[in-house]
Structure 1
Amino acid sequence: MTNRIRMTVLATNAEGSPDLYLTFVEVTALQYNEGQHYDMALARAEDEGYRPPMIAFDQNDAAAGMLRHATAFMEGETDGA
């Protein structure tokens, strides 16, 4: 049985600018526990033209929880970093 995991990859796009690539990966519990979902997301981003430096995180990682806060910060809705 596989699970559908939401993934985000922070990478460099074709224009050389920092970007976020959003995708899903299907993994077994063993693949997830071994961290293979990160590799799958990075490979998918590269296939779509994204380049290093790249880092992937899933819906359960601390970085995912920070996305809302980062959006509010970047849009000037908060002064807290």
Structure 2
Amino acid sequence: MFTRIRMVVLATNAEGSPDLFLTTVDATGTQYEHGRHYDMALPRARDEGYETPMIAFDQYDAAARMLRRAATFIEGGDAATGN
């Protein structure tokens, strides 16, 4: 059985700027437990023209929670409270 997992890859785009690549992967429980879903997301970003350095994270990782806080911060809110 496969589970669809939302993934974000932080990478360098074709212009050399930091960027986020968004994708989903379908992984089995075993693949997820062994971190293979990260290995699935990175080549997709490469195929779309993104370059290293790259790091992938999924919707459950601490980085995803921080991304939500970062969006609040960028928009001028208080990242600590989410307001």
TM bin (shorter chain)? over 0.9
Partners in 1 of 2:52 and 2:74 — Cα distance? 23
Gaps of 5+ in 2: none
Asked if the contact 2:10–2:56 (Cα under 8 Å) also holds between the matched residues in 1, the reply is yes
The answer for the alignment partner of 1:22 in structure 2 is: 22
Partners in 2 of 1:54 and 1:62 — Cα distance? 17
Partners in 2 of 1:25 and 1:18 — Cα distance? 22
Gaps of 5+ in 1: none
Deviation, 1:12, is 0.3
If the length of structure 2 is used for normalisation, what is the TM-score? 0.91
Aligned pairs, how many?
Answer: 80
SS of equivalent to 1:49: coil
If the length of structure 1 is used for normalisation, what is the TM-score? 0.93
- Identical amino acids, percent of aligned pairs: 68
